[in-house]
């Protein structure tokens, strides 16, 4: 049973897009245990598919067994948060088709949480400003506000303070996920911020986005967490090395890993590389950065037929 509107039972279908980090710096450890970070985050065209409709009781259907299917799932947490804040939101049935690899550094859980917030707001025509939705998103997790607003933003604080940036020119991506997950908390726990020597120049990078200078955007990508992840999981460093050896020039780990991505300005170059790399890696994805227009179209409302 969907939301009854004009005699029709409606459901919301939402694409929850993954992200990569083009720049990631960790400034300091805070008293609350989190770290202050600075990141340039970019939404990419790899997405989970979520369907929301009203039901007798809250239920969650998953297409994968490797994430929780109870109230700890970020999709269900988002639904509970909306029900707590908006009395008109009924019990919900949520279907979640996972395409984004889990514990991969691609914000898979966060994007599901953001997608459910947005889907519920749209389906039930809630009077909820974007600011209010962003506040709710921050309660779910540090990356959730970005997943809600994207597609290119500077994130600071613990990642939840966002400044929208000029849209990244289209980049084509080949992502390789090593055959294990990484816990973000473990990577931060192992990090000594005093050891981070080369700090990226965010102003310079933002200007490159402003002027759509793909060469600078590609050649100045960096991630301060690579050192920590590589020390704990040498296979991630090895994956990066192999991708470089296969000929990718711009290769970086995303978030706390273990996914490593290769970025290209030209689609044909990325496609050729993808075909070659597929011979060597089991879990490999072809993707691209997405635009604000594409992100705006992520929610659709339909009747049940």
Residues that bind ligand ATP (CB under 6 A): 67-68, 73-75, 102-110, 112, 143, 184, 255-256
Q: Which is nearer to ligand ATP, 21 or 53 (CB)?
A: 21
Helices 130-140 and 108-123: crossing angle in degrees, nearest 10, is 140
| Phi, then psi, of 191 in degrees rounded to 5 | -85, 135
Q: CB of residue 140 vs ligand ATP: minimum separation in angstroms? A: 10
| Phi, then psi, of 30 in degrees rounded to 5 | -95, 170
Catalytic residue among 11, 13, 15, 19: 19
Return contacts of 214-217, CB within 8 angstroms, 24+ apart.
214/169, 214/171, 214/265, 215/265, 217/22, 217/168, 217/169, 217/171
Q: Which residue is nearest to ligand ATP (CB)?
A: 109
Catalytic residue among 25, 143, 177, 240: 143
Question: Is 296 part of the annotated catalytic residue set?
Answer: no
DSSP-assigned letter for residue 200: -
Q: Which is nearer to ligand ATP, 63 or 207 (CB)?
A: 63
Q: Which is nearer to ligand ATP, 208 or 253 (CB)?
A: 253
Q: CB of residue 125 vs ligand ATP: minimum separation in angstroms? A: 25
Q: Which is nearer to ligand ATP, 96 or 301 (CB)?
A: 96
Q: Which is nearer to ligand ATP, 109 or 150 (CB)?
A: 109
Q: CB of residue 267 vs ligand ATP: minimum separation in angstroms? A: 25
Question: Is 143 part of the annotated catalytic residue set?
Answer: yes
DSSP-assigned letter for residue 289: B
Q: Which is nearer to ligand ATP, 72 or 211 (CB)?
A: 72
Q: CB of residue 79 vs ligand ATP: minimum separation in angstroms? A: 11
CB within 8 Å of 107: residues ≥ 6 apart: 18, 19, 100, 143, 146, 147, 255
Instruction: Specify whether the backbone of 189 is left (phi greater than 0), alpha (psi in -120 to 50) or beta.
Output: alpha
Q: CB of residue 119 vs ligand ATP: minimum separation in angstroms? A: 13
Terminal C-alpha separation, the chain: 12
Q: CB of residue 4 vs ligand ATP: minimum separation in angstroms? A: 27
How far is 286 from 275, CA to CA, in rounded Å?
10
Around Cβ 280, how many Cβ atoms within 10 Å? 13
DSSP characters for 139-191?
HH-TTHHHHHH-SEEEEETTTTEEEE-PPPPP-EEEEE--SS---HHHHHHT-
Instruction: Specify whether the backbone of 255 is left (phi greater than 0), alpha (psi in -120 to 50) or beta.
Output: left
The residues assigned a catalytic role are: 19, 143
């Amino acid at each position: 049973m969907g939301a009854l509107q004009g005699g029709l039972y409606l459901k919301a279908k939402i694409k929850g897009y993954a992200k990569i980090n083009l720049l990631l710096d960790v400034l300091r450890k805070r008293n609350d245990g989190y770290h202050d970070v600075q990141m340039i985050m970019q939404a990419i065209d790899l997405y989970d598919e979520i369907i929301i409709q009203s039901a007798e009781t809250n239920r969650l259907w998953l297409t994968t067994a490797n994430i929780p299917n109870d109230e700890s799932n970020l999709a269900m947490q988002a639904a509970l948060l909306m029900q707590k804040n908006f009395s008109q939101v009924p019990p919900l049935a949520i279907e979640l088709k996972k395409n984004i690899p889990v514990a991969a550094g691609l914000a898979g859980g966060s994007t599901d949480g953001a997608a459910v917030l947005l889907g519920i707001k749209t389906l039930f025509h809630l009077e909820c400003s974007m600011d209010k939705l962003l506040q709710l998103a921050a309660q779910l997790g540090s990356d959730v506000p970005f997943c809600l607003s994207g597609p290119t933003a500077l994130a600071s604080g613990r990642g939840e303070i966002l400044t929208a940036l000029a849209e990244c020119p289209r980049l084509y991506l080949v992502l390789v996920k090593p055959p294990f997950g990484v816990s973000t908390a473990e990577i931060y726990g192992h990090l000594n911020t005093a050891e981070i020597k080369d700090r990226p120049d965010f102003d310079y990078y933002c200007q490159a986005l402003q002027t759509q200078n793909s060469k600078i955007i590609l050649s100045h990508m960096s991630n301060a967490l690579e050192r920590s992840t590589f020390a704990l999981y040498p296979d991630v460093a090895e994956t990066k090395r192999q991708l470089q050896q296969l000929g990718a020039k711009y290769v970086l780990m995303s978030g706390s890993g273990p996914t490593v991505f290769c970025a290209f300005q030209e689609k044909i170059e990325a496609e050729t590389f993808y075909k070659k790399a597929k011979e060597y890696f089991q879990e490999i994805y072809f993707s691209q950065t997405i635009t604000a227009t594409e992100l705006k179209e992520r929610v659709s409302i339909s009747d049940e037929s």
